[in-house]
Amino acid sequence: MNTANLALQQTPPLSVPVRFFITAPLFGILASLLLIYIGSDIFNSRWGLNTLALTHLFTLGFVSMVMFGAILQLLPVVAGTVIPKPVLTSTIIHFLLTVGSLSLTGGFIFGYDLRIAIVLLGLSFFGFIAIVGYCLIQVKGNIIVGMRLSLLALLITGGLGIILAIRFAYGITLPLAMILVNIHLTWGLVGWVGLLIIAIAYQVVPMFQITPQYNAKLMRWLIPTLFIILLLWTLAYLWLGSNIGWISILISLGLATFVAKTLHLQIKRLRKIPDVTLDFWRVGAVGLLLSIILWIAGTIWIKLANQPFYPLLLFILFIGGFVLMVIQGMLYKIIPFLVWLHLQNQQLNPLKTMNMVRIPHMKQIIPSKLAKRQFWVYLIALSCTILALIFPNLIYLAGIILLGSFILLEYNMLKALKLYRSVLISLQ
Amino acid sequence: MEKTITNIFSKEHTHCDEIFARTENSVVQKQWTTADAEFNDFHTAMEKHFTAEEEILFPAFEERTGQTMGPTQVMRMEHQQMRQIFAQMQTSLAQRDNEQYLGLSETLLMLMQQHNMKEEQMLYPMTDQVFGDEATSILERIRAS
């Protein structure tokens, strides 16, 4: 009997998710360099091409990159399935997403033809959605519903993105361009990223911080309700040609319910020990809360929303303060665990005789001190970026510190993989 | 709450999680005597749960479905992995090495929780479905053992 194979059937090879995880900080590094290059010009236009490139380096190159890897890793645990031919599939999707993101952002900055980016990103998104969607068909549960709806949101985001990019590439002026841009970014940030984080939080917050469960009704209804409100908001926006304030307030109240419940559960957590992931998640919850308050305030006082700093602050708080926070926090759990798990599986493989080597535990794989240091550098970078809205010249310093934080993140992950290699060699 | 295999066994997971967290908190505060007792409770509760699964629940499931190489085998292997960590945790506790203990407990928590997730969301509901009304008699056997 081959227990290792059984285990391997459950866990895709380490390289499947890890290739996505180690690529993401590289995009973070590129984004920081671009931020330093743009400098205080960023405050002059929300729709400048460089700003668009910067946004997509974060959302495609970092956020979607990690999310793709995390979903491929989570499938066996939440759905009991592994994608077909995991190494080949993930190689192709990773290649398409990486080169696609580079050519899109390169296209924005240097004016290259966007058609290559459209094809590459289109293939990677639709390929990913089709494969994961297929794996999720036969399973049930709240997290599955959340994953499916967030995949649908990704489909809508990607579809709109392609329409917008085609318009850009061919110089076609669509009558609804600004509206489509707003719908595209709302589906991307609230639908794809937001819904997925909520679905994952249902599972991981009670498990890893040992808190009570999220309320069953909340788990059942919040994500589908948010999805439906997003649809209604989109239809009304397209139909009337203007943003319906109260519907967008409903969306933010839905997100507020999630964050309030999460913070409440975290207060009741039984596991009280210091934990860097918890730090990331708590600051992330505050970031989301602040962006919700700002959003509602801007919807009520149009004057506020018309201030030039408003959209930038909203982006910084939502992407930098919420999304990037929780994602980095997640990485500090996933990477050390996967390294440990794969080493352990190797050692238990009955078909091979392995040397009995003590497998390092998670805190030896990425020491808390290193993770904590990176957390603080990132937090300072974020604070500096926000302060730069008042003191524009601070943006250069913010960019440099942000660069440092992504370099540290990459360093921490590569160090873990180096340890993996060396233990693997001593096992054989 | 309905007396299904899913409910009863999931509740045991929650119970073990609670003692696990208490032990960790004591180790952080270096209250070693309390930690020793709590770890002992935790270890005993986990072993009791594993034994009920390995000796009664899984064989019954395997017999009914004819699947001996399926999900139950993966679960058994993960029990083995957890047992290895229990032993190391015990040693680190005896050596009063809190850093070592906390690194191991962090690892165990991840392993244990993804294991529990697979059981609670897939294996237990499958068992309830396979046994239907007979689930109660299996639960009786476990209680009597």
Reported confidence tier of residue A345, pLDDT bands at 50, 70, 90 = confident
pLDDT for A223 beyond 50: yes
Q: What is the pLDDT of residues B10-41, one digit of tens each?
A: 999 999 999 999 999 999 999 999 999 999 99
Nearest to A272 among B25, B116, B118 (CB): B25
Reported confidence tier of residue A6, pLDDT bands at 50, 70, 90 = very low
Each residue of B100-119: b (16+ CB within 10 Å) or e? bbbbbbbbbbbbbbbbbbbb
**Least Cα separation, residue B77 to chain A (angstroms):** 7
Reported confidence tier of residue A295, pLDDT bands at 50, 70, 90 = very high
Contacts of B47 (CB under 8 A, 6+ apart): none
Q: Which of helix, strand or coil describes residue A165?
A: helix
DSSP state of A39: G
What part of A 5-24 touches B (C-beta under 8 Å)?
6-7, 9-10
Task: Write down the domain spans for chain B.
Answer: 5-144
C-alpha dihedral (B50, B55, B56, B62), degrees to nearest 10:
100
**Hey, are the CB atoms on B102 and A80 less than 8 Å from each other?**
no
Q: Give the span between the Cα atoms of B32 and B36, in whole angstroms.
A: 6
List, in sequence order, the alpha helices (H) in A84-141: 86-110, 115-136
Residue from A283, A23, A321 nearest A189 by CA: A321
Q: Is the Cβ of A73 closer than 8 Å to some Cβ of chain B?
A: no
Q: Which residue has the tokens 């601070």?
A: A394
CB-based burial label for B143 (10 Å; 0-12, 13-18, 19+): exposed
List, in sequence order, the alpha helices (H) in A323-367: 324-348, 362-365
Each residue of B30-49: b (16+ CB within 10 Å) or e? eeeeebbebbeebbebbeeb
pLDDT for A3 beyond 50: no
ipTM: 0.85
Contacts of B87 in chain A (CB under 8 A): none
Contacts of B110 in chain A (CB under 8 A): 208, 333, 337, 340, 362
Nearest CA in chain A to B107: A362
Residue from A303, A318, A200, A327 nearest A252 by CA: A318
Model confidence, pTM:
0.91
Nearest to B107 among A272, A274, A362 (CB): A362
Q: Is the Cβ of B91 closer than 8 Å to some Cβ of chain A?
A: no
Of all residues in chain A, the percent with pLDDT exceeding 70 is 95
Lowest pLDDT segment from A147-161, A233-247, A249-263, A410-424: A233-247
pLDDT for A410 beyond 90: yes
> Mutating which of B110, B116, B126 best tests the A interface, going by the most A Cβ atoms within 10 A?
B110
Contacts of B24 in chain A (CB under 8 A): 271, 273
Nearest CA in chain A to B109: A208
Q: Is the Cβ of A78 closer than 8 Å to some Cβ of chain B?
A: yes
Nearest CA in chain A to B70: A6
What was the pLDDT predicted at A72? 92
What was the pLDDT predicted at B138? 84
What residues in chain B have per-residue pLDDT under 50?
none
Task: Answer yes or no: CATH 1.20.140 is held by domain B5-144.
Answer: no
The two three-digit tokens of residue A18, written as one number: 């890890």
**Least Cα separation, residue A319 to chain B (angstroms):** 27
Contacts of A10 in chain B (CB under 8 A): 74, 118
- Answer yes or no: are the C-beta atoms of A260 and A209 closer than 8 Å: no
What part of B 99-128 touches A (C-beta under 8 Å)?
99-100, 102-104, 106-107, 109-111, 113-114, 116-118, 121-122
Reported confidence tier of residue A53, pLDDT bands at 50, 70, 90 = very high
Nearest to A362 among B81, B84, B103 (CB): B103
Nearest to A364 among B103, B113, B121 (CB): B103
When the pLDDT of each residue in chain A is averaged and rounded to a whole number, the result is 91
Q: Give the span between the Cα atoms of A363 and A358, in whole angstroms.
A: 14
Q: What is the pLDDT of residues A91-138, one digit of tens each?
A: 999 999 999 999 999 999 998 889 999 999 999 999 999 999 998 887
What was the pLDDT predicted at A32? 98
